Structure 1
Amino acid sequence: MAQKNSFITTVAIMSIFFIAMGVGTITPALNSIMLAFPDLSVSTIYLTSTLPSLTCIPATLFAGAVAGSKVRFKTLGIIGVALFVVGGVIPFFITDFTMILIARAIFGIGLGIISPIGNAIIIGLYEGEKQASLLGIGTVMMNVGGIILQFLGGALAGIGWNYAFLPHLLGILTLLLVMFFLPEPEKIEHPEGTEKPKIVIKSSIWIVAILFGVVMFIDYPMLMGMSTFLANNNIGGPTTAAIVLAFFTVGGMVGGAIFASVFKFAKRFTVGIGLLFMAVAYVFVLYTGNVALITVGAAFEGIGFSILMPSVFTIVGMTASPQSVPMCASIILAVMNAFAFVSTYWIALIGGITGDAVGGPMFAAMIIAAVGGVIFLFVDPFPQMPKAE
């Protein structure tokens, strides 16, 4: 068995993060899928992208409830990655759209199972700066994987719409690494004759989950509205939008890479800094009118988000008992996915109120990020740890 501090162990853990953003693989191919199924509505076609986000929610909660207690992390990892690969690749071989959606639902279940595993294993195996460092690196790997999978999906879609599903085969590498090298955090042993402590989810975890869910209301107006915003302002077309949004992911890599250093020096101010990065991002996007500066804004948005996400899991590690960490991580991710889905209706609501379907939600996101950033400069979201004797 690989030791927890070995290089191959780190690679195995990071391979889980690498495929964690696989839901975006086929996004560049959505137009090609529309052309292949001209009789279907746009909203129906979009289900190929959004359905996995829905089916992953119960799968994430299930994985969190049993991981490390009733089912080994490795077992869950193998099942989840296998469903990711099978559900992800099946649409390459079929043309019945109902079956494609069933495959996407299976894919989402696999994605939901593996979603909490990487963070939970890191929290279970490591402490302190090592833990913060690996959580940050994990965020980097999520973004690297997202870039590579999305690029491959777009490139292969040029051959045929169904070829965009083939990049999910990269999950086979993750499957092999999980099978042979993924470590298992030690189980919490309890003395004979004593009652095994129940998994208790503190109210603070739910508060953190909901607050992080609100971050989706900050993120998604930019992610979903950038193409239209650029076109409406005569700044660029779809290709320009793709390049701009790619820098969101690049910014995410930077944010993940610097998280450990930011947390080490900023500590209680880390969450506020992340939110203020996102607020400044919208200033660049809304008020510069320059594609280069808008691209900088997208990168700032990615940096902010990738500072916030490992911050949240750091709070989980500091707040939750060891046996409840997997379930807490699952709750965070499930609520995040739920808010991501609801953000579509949030954007429509703000657009209806302001009369600006694109700029209105972006402005609202900027205000939420700025207010939240200022609040968390004064409010310490990280629990106080007892001092060592």
Structure 2
Amino acid sequence: MKRLKTGMAIAVATATIATSNLAFADDTVLQLYTWREQDQALFDYINENDLIPGVEIKTNVYNGAGEHETKLRIDFQTNRPDLYHAKAGTAWIQPWIDAGVAAPVTDLGINLDNFGDAALFGATAADGKIYGVPFVMQMQSILYNKAVVKKEPKNLEELEALFADLKSQGIVPLHVDGRDAWYLNQVLHETILAGMTSDEWSQKVVVGEACFTDDVYVDAMERFKSWQDKGYLNPTPLADDYGAMRTGVALGTSAMMVDGIWSATPASPMYEIDPSLELGYMAIPGASNKVYGFVDGHIAYNPNSEKKAAIKKVLEFYTTKEFSQLFADTVEAIPASTHKIKVEVDRVNQAAKLIGTNALPGLPFFTPALNGGEPTYQALTAAGLQELLAGKSTAREMAEKIQKTLNSQGYIGAANCAL
């Protein structure tokens, strides 16, 4: 295999764009649906170099997870696609299982020995079966524009002093996307937990031994709300979406945002705004001072496809060391496997180290026990943060609403957390 050099993803994409979706004459063409535009160069390279003999992957990239899910709902009715990128967590995959368009990869005999428990957890459904091959680890934290923030604060007091100084300069200290539910529950809420609760609480709450009404959780949400009350957030967070947030930080009119490491990759649109942009990242420096590390996605398949032999080849390739190295080189992101590879990008190495040594151990967002009923924990936290930012509830009221709803669904900790 002719391996890509680090940083060549954009060049490869440009060089192969004309032929990236043309199949060789005898190849089986598989339709793959994804929201991950940053992976296009990866598939271009796989196809151009015939790394999966007899198979051509035609990528269908949609603008964001929402459009991706809409296309899946529509096109599954006509038995497309063959493969699709799936978001991690029980809540995301269960509707597709119920619809009969997701199946365990073990049904195809895929060996997952080269993946750790944390990676496999993200692809595991409520029935305990694994519905995809994990391929990317992600990290959520504060991302900041290095041209604006020169020194990382070491605790909340230093962070808030920096907020005050930035505000006095007319710069938005922390830009928040208050419109998008996926951002509020997956990114903002969980990153607040990682920085400002505790390892002990996060591990206990997912098994019902701790409660959302505990002071450690309420205090974290009250501290976050105090930043809005002091003018440290963008003035109209409920009107600002994800694009507005990233644009503000890229331009330097906003200093920081809570976001995923994916925004710091070469494919991020932030670098179209400022090609010289430099982003740093750090945990919210609260009592826990942790980042939120998780499997962002796995590749799943349509069990109704008639191309299962080709599908199996793709899934098997995703489990190899060769794929992990190629993924790190082209996408400049952290592979989900345990294969030992050489990574030359400092940002990727630093993020991988933080995930390995300084990530919150409990992951409420992905826990089946919290997401088995309707509304799910994910839906409750998104709605709760919007009400908090709108001034319609206090942090305590938000916590009690989450806990009461979970209790009413038979949550494992209902007796312990009765209100």
TM-score, length-scaled by structure 1: 0.28
TM-score, length-scaled by structure 2: 0.27
Q: Which has the higher helix share?
A: 1
Q: Which has the higher strand share?
A: 2
